[in-house]
Amino acid sequence: MAQLKDVYTAGKGMVGVILPDATTSARYNQLRPSVPEAGLRSRRLRCSDYKIDNASGTATTELALAQADITAGAKVLLVDPLR
């Protein structure tokens, strides 16, 4: 997370976070996006500096979300891949 501060300080781009699913993984049912969001906020990133999405368990959705984040100007992608 320390490296994210450099991106924020540079004022370039946003951070895209892509979670794999919310139905088959207990950790996402319990934690939801609040844990990644808390980490991003601890680095003083504003809501407009990052976007958290869920791939809903499909590789096609995961790829589409990554492409959409890049198109929207993401310079950093944090992806927890589907297993």
- Give me the DSSP letters along the chain: -HHHHHHHHHT--EEEEEE--SSS-HHHHHHTTHHHHHHHHHTT--GGGEEEEE-TT-HHHHHHHHHHHHHTTEEEEEE----
Assign 7 a pLDDT band (cuts: 50, 70, 90): low
Evaluate if pTM is beyond 0.95: no
pLDDT in tens, 22-77: 765 556 556 555 666 777 767 677 777 888 888 988 999 999 999 999 999 898 89
Residue 58 domain boundaries? 2-79
Number of domains in the chain: 1
pLDDT of 1 > 60? The answer is: no
